Amino acid sequence: MQMKEHKYHFTSESLAQEALGEAVSLGATYADVRLIESGSRALATKNGVPTSLDFEESQGLGIRLLCQGAWGFAATHDLSKENVIRTAFKAIKIARASALAQKTPVKLAQESPIQTEWSTPYLIDPFSISIDEQLNFLFQIDEAARKIKGISIVETQMHFEKEKKLFLSSEGSRILQNFITSGAGFNVLAFKGGDLQKRSYPNSFGGQYQRKGYELIHELKLLENVPRMAEEAVQLLSAPSCPQGEKDLILDSSQLGLQIHESVGHPIELDRVLGSEANYAGKSFLTLDQLHHLQYGSPLVHVVADATASHGPGLGTFGFDDEGVPAQRTDIIREGHFVGYLSSRETAPAIHENRSNGTMRAESWNRIPLIRMTNVSLLPQAGTFEELILSTRDGIYLETNRSWSIDDRRLNFQFGTEIGWEIKNGKKGRMVKNPIYWGMTPEFWNACDWICDANHWTLWGTPNCGKGQPCQTMGTGHGASPARFLAVNVGASH
């Protein structure tokens, strides 16, 4: 089948152009407008009963501008000419008020104007599939799981989003983008004697999400993996707790994706480093003096922030960010050395860069863009998973996140997973339940001595990353292969 790419035209584009012109005429030295139409469909079941059939649609326009060296932002869902012009005036008033408290005028790194279109490639439009067909598939998963003796609860879910976004800037950019996002997964829970155990597939917290069409649902092989997940959930009820001590820790790629998210992705957000996030989610241990000096990981560790389509259909994949900057690939950790941040046009000069690396994104038309993770991924190395197990003498292998905790500088962490297995003398041994591990970020990544090859690499989607005030929930991507970390503290949560 051929990938579909659609081109769109906004009937209200002329209003966006008027808003831009009005902002400049009122004194803005820079202005951009984002006009967005979006829609979503969410389906969920629990023990054979639909628990969610949610549909949302949204349309609106946001105006961001600089006046007197300070930012102003205003947004509206009323796309009448009168109200759009009023919104531009409101953004100007906010900028002038902000300028009264502004210590240093905002200066933007240069960016060439662009006129283009970009779309998510996909095979099957998920919104072309009937709700009945999608629900019936979730019911099949539910029925298959509840056939396994000992399963108490089965939860299934699907989620689809579409978005059309027009970006206009006073510098002459006109960028039209179309996004399609799909996601699905299921959870099975077993309960006995006060003990509750859970297995999720293909990942916890909603499953797997990518910028793809309905073909992703077929690729995930959800139904085929029901028996294994259900049987493991039941087996966990009688499994021993994870032993405590220092072990060579092997993480599956999904858990490693969350480890990357929390201990690499968030600390490299340059607005957080410079203090903009301190009030809400803390700062970062990666202060500016650490750039090009910190040994972040072992020589095997190579992490990139890559929003380009060639990296894969991640939730951090796009053509252009919300400042009109093209998607890019940036080295973050190269052979263990810390070499890069996520930046914006405003913050790039702080690290002596003459250009943003294109990471500014907003949740919707009514939110101002923030520095957000793109696809922050650990690149694969060499060796198979089987070889990794064979080379491990005394270790523990953990799969699928269950809990996480990390301090406000992203330095000290503790993670829990749904399941684990002991590794003894190169063999996968007994199953263990309630495993946790903990450590400090640089020491943890410096303990990495094995990363599996590209055949084991998966680009995971995290659809629920929160940041900013008011909070914005965005999707990010994290690619990883299973990897091993030497002498890590492990134990059981209870």
Instruction: Please report the pLDDT score of residue 340 as a whole number.
Output: 98
3 inside domain: no
Give the domain extent around 280. 245-492
Are 112 and 167 part of one and the same domain? yes
Beta strands in 349-494 (DSSP E): 360-361, 370-371, 376-378, 394-406, 412-424, 427-432, 435-440, 448-451, 458-467, 472-480, 483-492
* 169 lies in the same domain as 279: no
Q: Is pLDDT at 141 greater than 70 in this prediction?
A: yes
Average pLDDT over residues 202-227: 98
Asked whether residue 215 falls in the same domain as residue 273, the answer is: no
Residue 226 and residue 321 in one domain = no
Tell whether the model's pLDDT for residue 7 goes beyond 80: no
**Residue 50 counted as domain residue:** yes
What pLDDT score does 10 carry? 64
Decide if pLDDT at 379 tops 90.
yes
Clarify whether residues 210 and 264 are in a common domain: no
Q: Are strands 483-492 and 448-451 parallel, antiparallel or unpaired?
A: antiparallel
Split into its structural domains, the chain has a count of 2
Distant-in-sequence, close-in-space partners of 435: CB < 8 Å, separation ≥ 6: 242, 396, 398, 416, 417, 419, 420, 490, 491, 492, 493
Q: Where does 151-223 have alpha helices with state H?
A: 215-219
Q: What's the pLDDT score for residue 11?
A: 67
pLDDT in tens, 156-198: 999 999 999 999 999 999 999 999 999 999 999 999 999 999 9
CB atoms within 10 A of CB 112: 11
Contacts of 324 (CB under 8 A, 6+ apart): 32, 111, 113, 114, 167, 169, 171, 173, 175
Query: 188 with 316, same domain?
Result: no
Check which CATH number belongs to the domain holding 213 and give it.
Answer: 3.30.2290.10
**472-486 residue pLDDT tens:** 999 999 999 999 999
Query: Is residue 2 one of the residues assigned to a domain?
Result: no
Q: Quick check: is 1 in a domain?
A: no
396/479 same-domain check: yes
Domain boundary among 207, 236, 265: 236
- 367 in any annotated domain: yes
Per residue in 281-301, pLDDT (tens digit) is 789 999 999 999 999 999 999
Pair 397, 441 in one domain? yes
Given a cut of 50, whether residue 273 has pLDDT beyond it is: yes
Read off the amino acid at residue 453: D
81 and 30 fall within a common domain = yes
Same-domain status, 287 and 213: no
Whether residues 167 and 253 fall in one domain: no
Answer whether residue 366 is part of any domain: yes
| CA 29 – CA 57 distance, rounded (Å) | 33
